[in-house]
Amino acid sequence: MADLQIEDDGAVRVLTMNRPEKRNALNLALSEALFDALCDADSAADVRAIVLTGAGPAFCAGADLSEFAALSSANAALVERRADITAKLHGVFSQLTKPVVTAINGAAMGGGAGLALAGDIAIMSATAKLGYPEVKHGIVASVVMANLVRQAGRKAAFELVATGEPIDASRAVELGLVNRVVAPQMLMHEAMQSARAMAAVAPQAMAATKLLFYRVAELPFDQALEAGREMNQRMRAFRKDKP
Protein backbone atom coordinates (compact mmCIF):
# COMPACT_ATOMS: atom_id res chain seq x y z
CA MET A 1 0.00 0.00 0.00
CA ALA A 2 1.06 3.61 -0.52
CA ASP A 3 3.15 5.21 2.23
CA LEU A 4 0.73 8.11 2.13
CA GLN A 5 -3.02 7.79 1.75
CA ILE A 6 -4.86 10.72 0.16
CA GLU A 7 -8.63 11.11 0.43
CA ASP A 8 -10.99 14.00 -0.16
CA ASP A 9 -13.97 14.58 2.10
CA GLY A 10 -15.81 17.47 0.50
CA ALA A 11 -13.45 20.45 0.53
CA VAL A 12 -11.11 18.80 3.05
CA ARG A 13 -8.16 16.71 1.90
CA VAL A 14 -7.08 14.07 4.42
CA LEU A 15 -3.46 12.94 4.30
CA THR A 16 -2.69 9.80 6.31
CA MET A 17 0.88 8.68 6.85
CA ASN A 18 0.62 4.98 6.21
CA ARG A 19 3.59 3.05 7.56
CA PRO A 20 1.95 1.68 10.72
CA GLU A 21 4.45 -1.17 10.99
CA LYS A 22 7.16 1.50 11.31
CA ARG A 23 5.02 3.82 13.46
CA ASN A 24 4.83 6.05 10.37
CA ALA A 25 8.53 6.83 10.56
CA LEU A 26 9.68 9.33 7.95
CA ASN A 27 11.80 7.61 5.35
CA LEU A 28 12.84 9.48 2.23
CA ALA A 29 9.87 8.18 0.21
CA LEU A 30 7.25 9.24 2.77
CA SER A 31 8.91 12.62 3.32
CA GLU A 32 8.91 13.40 -0.39
CA ALA A 33 5.37 12.07 -0.86
CA LEU A 34 4.06 14.18 2.01
CA PHE A 35 5.75 17.35 0.77
CA ASP A 36 4.37 16.81 -2.74
CA ALA A 37 0.89 16.03 -1.39
CA LEU A 38 0.80 19.20 0.70
CA CYS A 39 1.82 21.30 -2.30
CA ASP A 40 -0.71 19.51 -4.55
CA ALA A 41 -3.51 20.11 -2.02
CA ASP A 42 -2.58 23.77 -1.83
CA SER A 43 -2.86 24.15 -5.60
CA ALA A 44 -6.10 22.15 -5.93
CA ALA A 45 -9.02 24.53 -6.51
CA ASP A 46 -11.56 22.23 -4.87
CA VAL A 47 -9.54 21.75 -1.67
CA ARG A 48 -10.01 24.37 1.05
CA ALA A 49 -8.37 22.72 4.08
CA ILE A 50 -6.05 19.82 4.91
CA VAL A 51 -5.99 17.26 7.73
CA LEU A 52 -2.80 15.32 8.49
CA THR A 53 -2.83 12.20 10.66
CA GLY A 54 -1.20 8.79 11.02
CA ALA A 55 -2.38 5.23 10.45
CA GLY A 56 -2.29 2.81 13.34
CA PRO A 57 -1.40 3.62 16.95
CA ALA A 58 1.25 6.28 16.24
CA PHE A 59 1.14 9.68 14.58
CA CYS A 60 4.78 9.63 13.48
CA ALA A 61 7.91 8.22 15.14
CA GLY A 62 10.19 10.73 13.43
CA ALA A 63 13.06 9.86 11.12
CA ASP A 64 13.37 6.26 9.98
CA LEU A 65 16.58 5.25 11.74
CA SER A 66 17.01 2.25 9.43
CA GLU A 67 18.02 4.69 6.67
CA PHE A 68 20.78 6.31 8.72
CA ALA A 69 23.40 3.74 7.71
CA ALA A 70 23.20 4.99 4.13
CA LEU A 71 23.51 8.64 5.20
CA SER A 72 27.28 8.86 5.30
CA SER A 73 30.02 10.96 3.74
CA ALA A 74 30.36 8.23 1.12
CA ASN A 75 26.88 9.08 -0.14
CA ALA A 76 26.91 12.88 -0.06
CA ALA A 77 24.17 13.26 -2.66
CA LEU A 78 21.73 11.21 -0.59
CA VAL A 79 22.66 13.09 2.57
CA GLU A 80 21.96 16.38 0.80
CA ARG A 81 18.68 15.12 -0.65
CA ARG A 82 17.48 13.91 2.75
CA ALA A 83 18.46 17.13 4.54
CA ASP A 84 16.81 19.21 1.82
CA ILE A 85 13.47 17.42 1.90
CA THR A 86 13.41 17.45 5.72
CA ALA A 87 13.89 21.23 5.82
CA LYS A 88 11.39 21.83 3.01
CA LEU A 89 8.77 19.59 4.62
CA HIS A 90 8.89 21.27 8.02
CA GLY A 91 8.96 24.71 6.44
CA VAL A 92 6.14 24.31 3.95
CA PHE A 93 3.19 24.38 6.37
CA SER A 94 3.42 28.11 7.05
CA GLN A 95 3.87 28.81 3.34
CA LEU A 96 0.67 27.08 2.25
CA THR A 97 -2.35 29.25 1.52
CA LYS A 98 -4.70 26.64 2.98
CA PRO A 99 -5.03 25.74 6.66
CA VAL A 100 -3.66 22.45 7.97
CA VAL A 101 -5.10 20.60 10.96
CA THR A 102 -2.87 17.95 12.51
CA ALA A 103 -4.80 15.13 14.18
CA ILE A 104 -2.24 13.68 16.58
CA ASN A 105 -3.58 10.18 17.08
CA GLY A 106 -0.62 8.70 18.93
CA ALA A 107 3.05 9.14 19.69
CA ALA A 108 4.64 12.06 17.82
CA MET A 109 8.40 11.94 18.29
CA GLY A 110 11.30 13.90 16.84
CA GLY A 111 10.42 14.83 13.28
CA GLY A 112 6.93 13.53 13.99
CA ALA A 113 6.55 16.05 16.81
CA GLY A 114 7.77 18.67 14.37
CA LEU A 115 5.03 17.75 11.91
CA ALA A 116 2.41 17.70 14.67
CA LEU A 117 3.27 21.24 15.74
CA ALA A 118 3.67 22.53 12.19
CA GLY A 119 -0.08 22.43 11.63
CA ASP A 120 -1.99 25.69 11.90
CA ILE A 121 -4.35 23.88 14.28
CA ALA A 122 -3.15 20.89 16.31
CA ILE A 123 -5.63 18.54 17.97
CA MET A 124 -4.22 15.78 20.16
CA SER A 125 -5.64 12.50 21.41
CA ALA A 126 -5.70 12.27 25.20
CA THR A 127 -3.60 9.11 24.96
CA ALA A 128 -0.93 10.54 22.66
CA LYS A 129 2.55 11.71 23.65
CA LEU A 130 4.94 14.19 22.11
CA GLY A 131 8.69 14.44 22.44
CA TYR A 132 12.11 15.09 20.96
CA PRO A 133 14.27 12.07 21.90
CA GLU A 134 17.12 12.83 19.46
CA VAL A 135 19.60 13.73 22.19
CA LYS A 136 19.19 10.25 23.67
CA HIS A 137 20.40 8.82 20.35
CA GLY A 138 23.43 11.09 20.30
CA ILE A 139 22.00 13.44 17.68
CA VAL A 140 20.29 16.84 17.69
CA ALA A 141 16.64 17.84 17.25
CA SER A 142 17.87 20.18 14.56
CA VAL A 143 15.37 21.08 11.83
CA VAL A 144 12.39 20.73 14.18
CA MET A 145 13.91 23.16 16.69
CA ALA A 146 13.05 26.24 14.63
CA ASN A 147 9.33 25.56 14.96
CA LEU A 148 9.48 24.43 18.58
CA VAL A 149 11.20 27.53 19.96
CA ARG A 150 8.59 29.71 18.24
CA GLN A 151 5.68 27.83 19.80
CA ALA A 152 6.86 27.07 23.32
CA GLY A 153 8.54 29.21 25.93
CA ARG A 154 12.32 28.98 25.80
CA LYS A 155 12.65 27.10 29.09
CA ALA A 156 10.07 24.50 28.10
CA ALA A 157 11.50 24.13 24.60
CA PHE A 158 15.02 23.64 25.90
CA GLU A 159 13.88 21.06 28.42
CA LEU A 160 12.16 19.09 25.67
CA VAL A 161 15.20 18.96 23.37
CA ALA A 162 17.85 18.66 26.10
CA THR A 163 16.27 15.85 28.13
CA GLY A 164 14.55 13.97 25.33
CA GLU A 165 11.70 13.16 27.71
CA PRO A 166 8.21 13.01 26.16
CA ILE A 167 5.21 14.90 27.49
CA ASP A 168 1.60 13.81 27.63
CA ALA A 169 -1.34 15.55 26.01
CA SER A 170 -2.31 17.56 29.08
CA ARG A 171 1.19 19.03 29.33
CA ALA A 172 1.26 19.74 25.59
CA VAL A 173 -1.93 21.81 25.76
CA GLU A 174 -0.71 23.52 28.95
CA LEU A 175 2.40 24.67 27.06
CA GLY A 176 0.30 25.88 24.14
CA LEU A 177 1.82 23.36 21.75
CA VAL A 178 -1.60 22.03 20.72
CA ASN A 179 -5.02 23.67 20.56
CA ARG A 180 -6.98 21.06 22.43
CA VAL A 181 -7.05 17.49 23.67
CA VAL A 182 -9.91 15.13 22.91
CA ALA A 183 -10.84 11.53 23.55
CA PRO A 184 -9.21 9.15 21.03
CA GLN A 185 -12.53 8.17 19.47
CA MET A 186 -13.37 11.84 18.88
CA LEU A 187 -10.07 12.89 17.33
CA MET A 188 -10.90 12.67 13.64
CA HIS A 189 -14.38 14.08 14.22
CA GLU A 190 -12.91 17.13 15.93
CA ALA A 191 -10.17 17.52 13.33
CA MET A 192 -12.66 17.33 10.47
CA GLN A 193 -15.01 19.77 12.19
CA SER A 194 -12.16 22.25 12.55
CA ALA A 195 -11.06 21.75 8.95
CA ARG A 196 -14.59 22.11 7.59
CA ALA A 197 -15.12 25.34 9.52
CA MET A 198 -11.99 26.83 7.95
CA ALA A 199 -12.86 25.39 4.55
CA ALA A 200 -16.08 27.41 4.67
CA VAL A 201 -14.11 30.67 4.78
CA ALA A 202 -13.55 32.53 1.52
CA PRO A 203 -10.23 31.18 0.16
CA GLN A 204 -8.81 34.66 -0.49
CA ALA A 205 -9.48 35.65 3.12
CA MET A 206 -7.95 32.44 4.45
CA ALA A 207 -4.84 32.77 2.29
CA ALA A 208 -4.40 36.40 3.37
CA THR A 209 -4.93 35.47 7.02
CA LYS A 210 -2.23 32.81 6.90
CA LEU A 211 0.17 35.07 5.03
CA LEU A 212 -0.23 37.90 7.52
CA PHE A 213 -0.22 35.64 10.58
CA TYR A 214 3.13 34.04 9.85
CA ARG A 215 4.58 37.32 8.66
CA VAL A 216 3.75 39.33 11.78
CA ALA A 217 4.95 36.51 14.03
CA GLU A 218 8.51 37.30 12.97
CA LEU A 219 8.33 41.11 12.87
CA PRO A 220 8.90 43.81 15.50
CA PHE A 221 5.61 45.34 16.66
CA ASP A 222 5.74 48.50 14.57
CA GLN A 223 6.53 46.56 11.40
CA ALA A 224 3.83 44.02 12.23
CA LEU A 225 1.33 46.83 12.65
CA GLU A 226 2.33 48.26 9.29
CA ALA A 227 1.95 44.87 7.66
CA GLY A 228 -1.54 44.68 9.16
CA ARG A 229 -2.39 48.13 7.81
CA GLU A 230 -1.26 47.11 4.33
CA MET A 231 -3.35 43.94 4.47
CA ASN A 232 -6.33 45.91 5.75
CA GLN A 233 -6.18 48.17 2.71
CA ARG A 234 -5.76 45.23 0.36
CA MET A 235 -8.72 43.33 1.77
CA ARG A 236 -10.96 46.40 1.78
CA ALA A 237 -10.19 46.86 -1.91
CA PHE A 238 -10.94 43.19 -2.48
CA ARG A 239 -14.30 43.49 -0.74
CA LYS A 240 -15.26 46.44 -2.93
CA ASP A 241 -14.85 44.21 -5.95
CA LYS A 242 -17.47 41.82 -4.62
CA PRO A 243 -20.98 42.08 -6.08
Q: Which residues are catalytic?
A: 134
DSSP of 101-119:
EEEE-S-EETHHHHHHHHS
The answer for residues whose C-beta is within 8 angstroms of residue 146's C-beta and 6 or more apart is: 90
- The residues that bridge with 15 in the sheet, in sequence order, are 6, 52
Q: Which of 123, 120, 146, 126 is nearest to 53 (CA)?
A: 123
DSSP of 115-142:
HHHHSSEEEEETT-EEE-GGGGGTS---
Q: Are 192 and 182 in contact (CB under 8 A)?
A: no
Residues 219, 192: Cα–Cα separation, whole Å: 32
Q: Are 26 and 90 in contact (CB under 8 A)?
A: no
Q: Are 99 and 50 in contact (CB under 8 A)?
A: yes
Classified as helix, coil or strand, 194 is helix
Residues 223, 161: Cα–Cα separation, whole Å: 31
